[in-house]
Amino acid sequence: MKKIKEKEGKPWCKFCPERTVRAVWRSSGCHLDKHACELHKQELQEFEAKQRDDGYMTEADYQTWGRI
């Protein structure tokens, strides 16, 4: 998870009702479409933890480790 920089623009929080709160955090890795405000930071952290624990591999992981 990374903090959104001012020059990147501020997308809407994916966890709040449609178009009500601007996001401050974005997910890292391949799920760059997930954004969260300060109130939903915990939900974004849980989402990323679940993706890591699922055995999910990014394309880079697959090319490095998936073929072994």
Task: Report the alpha-carbon angle 42-43-49, nearest 5.
Answer: 90
Q: Give me the pLDDT at residue 50, please.
A: 78
Regarding pTM above 0.75, the answer is no
Residue 7: C-alpha distances to residues 27, 49, 52 (Å)? 17, 27, 29
- Residue 60 sits at the vertex; the CA angle it makes with 15 and 29, to the nearest 5 degrees, is 20
Residue pLDDT, tens place only, 22-39: 999 988 866 678 899 999
**Beta pairing, strands 2-3 & 25-26:** antiparallel
Round to whole Å and give the CA distance between 40 and 24: 10
